[in-house]
């Protein structure tokens, strides 16, 4: 068993309202007028970016974008890590960096070898014998999958601790000369964000550092649809990472995801009416609405998914950490259950059962 004890965020400093982004796109893409209503219907008020508005008006090389990714990813990951391990709202006392036994770094919006977790290790007093698990290419599902892999590792090492960082700087993948509809839709949805989560095993001495009722991961499930590589992901071009984003995703919620969630609940002897909340990655408004339709549950159970989408947009893998942060702040009664879910490239679905515990 493993417990999610704290979450910290690294929120970029450049904020643009959705109307501002819409006007920017109108200026950059002369063909865009008939597609601009997507900005109005996305249920997004504002987003945060690591670059300013003028950056999007110029063309940038893959190297320039990736250099910016490298620098900003380190900066905002450190902010999220520090906020997580010293979060007075969730912890009675700070968790020292020396206490971390495994660091998982999740990202899909830039590349680095050695992986960026090694750069983070140089900036904070991690032990040299720390285990490392960089995860790349999981897209929007990356945060949920990172939690699942931490759960697996802590089940094998119940006295250990794990720090997960989800870092997505989607703005730096923007392609000024990509006139495909998927690029414009991505521009209407995606923002930048970094999250960090602390997980500890059931025998860890650091479990006593936790202040509030916290979610315990009970079980996880992964499903990947074969021959679905074209649903979402990146095409790698000379200009960088070019978004692949299929309009079929909400429909796949009604088929592929529906089968997964129904099987998962049945296998764990849980009725959907028993679920207190859904920590659901909001791929977009239509994805959330499709999930509600599948489950036939009140929108209130998805409230923080909608709120994070409205305040930050879709931040790929980091988004579920922002939503988890909101549920932790609000507090969930002991013994209630939540489902954490995310969809990603593959096409894949990740589900976790969380039970809130005072232990």
The catalytic site residues sit at 140
- Using CA atoms, how far apart are residues 28 and 50, in angstroms rounded to an integer? 19
* Structure-token pair, residue 124: 């904070």
- Using CA atoms, how far apart are residues 189 and 306, in angstroms rounded to an integer? 13
- Burial (CB < 10 A; 0-12, 13-18, 19+), residue 358, is exposed
Q: Regarding beta strands 46-49 and 337-344, do their DSSP bridges make them parallel or antiparallel, or are they unpaired?
A: unpaired
Distances (CA, A) of 24 to 193, 292, 296: 21, 33, 38
- Using CA atoms, how far apart are residues 154 and 131, in angstroms rounded to an integer? 12
* Structure-token pair, residue 45: 């008020």
- Does residue 114 have a cis bond before it (omega within 30 degrees)? yes
Q: Regarding beta strands 102-107 and 2-10, do their DSSP bridges make them parallel or antiparallel, or are they unpaired?
A: unpaired
Contact 190, 25 (CB under 8 A): no
Q: Supply the angle between the helices 319-330 and 142-156 in degrees, to the nearest 10.
A: 70
Positive/negative CA dihedral, 302, 279, 242, 20? positive
Hey, is 144 helix, strand or coil? Answer: helix
Hey, how many other C-beta atoms are within 10 angstroms of the C-beta on 177? 11
Hey, is 303 helix, strand or coil? Answer: helix
Assign 3-state DSSP to the chain and report helix, strand, coil percentages, each to 5: 45, 30, 30
Q: Regarding beta strands 337-344 and 102-107, do their DSSP bridges make them parallel or antiparallel, or are they unpaired?
A: unpaired
Contact 186, 157 (CB under 8 A): no
Q: Regarding beta strands 232-237 and 240-245, do their DSSP bridges make them parallel or antiparallel, or are they unpaired?
A: antiparallel
- Using CA atoms, how far apart are residues 337 and 261, in angstroms rounded to an integer? 14
């Amino acid at each position: 068993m493993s417990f999610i004890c704290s979450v910290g965020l690294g929120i970029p400093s450049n904020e643009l309202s959705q109307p501002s982004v819409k006007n920017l796109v109108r200026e950059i893409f002369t063909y865009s007028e008939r597609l601009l209503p997507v900005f109005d219907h996305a249920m997004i008020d504002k987003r945060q970016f690591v670059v300013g508005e003028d950056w999007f008006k110029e063309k940038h090389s893959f190297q320039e974008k990736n250099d910016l990714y490298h620098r900003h990813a380190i900066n905002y990951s450190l902010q999220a890590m520090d906020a997580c391990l010293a979060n007075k709202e969730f912890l009675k006392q700070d968790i020292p960096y020396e206490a971390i036994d495994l660091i998982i770094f999740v990202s899909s919006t830039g590349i680095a070898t050695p992986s960026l977790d090694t750069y983070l290790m140089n900036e904070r007093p991690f032990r040299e014998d720390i285990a490392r698990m960089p995860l790349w290419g999981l897209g929007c599902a990356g945060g949920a999958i990172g939690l699942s892999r931490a759960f697996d590792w802590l089940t094998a090492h119940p006295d250990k601790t794990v720090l997960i960082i989800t870092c997505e700087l989607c703005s730096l993948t923007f392609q000024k000369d990509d006139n495909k509809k998927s690029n414009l839709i991505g521009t209407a949805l995606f923002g930048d964000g970094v999250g960090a989560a602390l997980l500890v095993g059931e025998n860890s001495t650091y479990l006593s550092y936790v202040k509030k009722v916290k979610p315990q991961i009970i079980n996880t499930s992964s499903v990947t649809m074969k021959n679905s590589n074209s649903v979402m992901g990146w095409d790698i071009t000379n200009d960088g990472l070019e978004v692949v984003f299929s309009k079929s995703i909400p429909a796949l919620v009604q088929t592929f995801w529906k089968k997964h969630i129904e099987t998962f609940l049945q296998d764990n002897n849980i009725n959907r009416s028993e679920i207190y909340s859904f920590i659901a990655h909001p791929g977009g408004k239509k994805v959330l609405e499709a999930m509600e339709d599948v489950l036939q549950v009140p929108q209130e159970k998805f409230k923080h998914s909608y709120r994070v989408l409205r305040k930050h947009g879709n931040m790929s893998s980091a988004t579920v950490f922002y939503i988890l942060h909101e549920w932790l702040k609000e507090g969930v009664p002991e013994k209630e259950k939540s489902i954490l879910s995310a969809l990603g490239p593959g096409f894949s679905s990740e589900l976790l059962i969380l039970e809130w515990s005072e232990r």
